[in-house]
Amino acid sequence: MSGPVQIPFKSFIHLKPGENTAIYLQIVFEFIKAIQTGFLPEGTKLPGTRILCRLLAVNRNTLIKAFQDLESQGWIETLPNKGTFILSQHKQKISEDFIISEKQNSSQNNIGFEFKRSTILENPTETSNLPFQFNDGMPDLRLVQNDILARLYVSKLKRQKTSKVYEQIQIRSHLNFKTHFSNYLNLTRGLRIATSNLLTTSSHEISLYLVTKVLISSGDKVVVASPGYYISNMTLTNTGAQIITIPVDQDGIDTNRLKEICEETKIRVLYLTSNYNYPTTISLSAKRRKELLELANQYGFVILEDDYDFDFHYDNNPILPLAAFDSNQKVVYIGSFGRSLPSGFSYGFVAAPPKFINELEKHQNILEPGIDVLKEQVLTEWINEGEVHRLSKKNKKIYKERRDYFVFLLNEKLKGKIKFKVPARGLAVWIEWLDKFNLITLQKECAKNDLFLPKTILYQTKDLTATRLGFGHLEKEEMEKAVAILCKSIYTISTK
DSSP string, 79-126: ETTTEEEE---------TTT---TT---TTT--SS-----STT-----
pLDDT surpassing 70 at residue 34:
yes
Residue-wise pLDDT for 392-426, tens only, equals: 888 889 999 999 999 999 999 999 999 999 998 89
Cα–Cα distance, 90 to 113 (Å, whole number): 30
pLDDT at 88: 54
Confidence of residue 312 (pLDDT cuts 50, 70, 90): confident
Q: Are 197 and 350 in contact (CB under 8 A)?
A: no
Please return the burial class of 256, using the count of CB atoms within 10 Å of its CB with bins 0-12, 13-18 and 19+. Answer: exposed
- pLDDT tens across 127-179, in order? 889 999 999 999 888 887 666 666 666 766 666 554 455 555 677 888 899 99
Provide, rounded to the nearest whole percent, the portion of the chain with pLDDT above 90: 47
Provide the pLDDT confidence category of residue 94 given band limits of 50, 70 and 90.
very low
Give the count of beta carbons closer than 10 Å to the beta carbon of residue 257. 14
Instruction: Tell me which amino acid residue 436 is.
Output: K
pTM comes to 0.77
Q: Give dist(CA 267, CA 217) in Å, integer.
A: 12
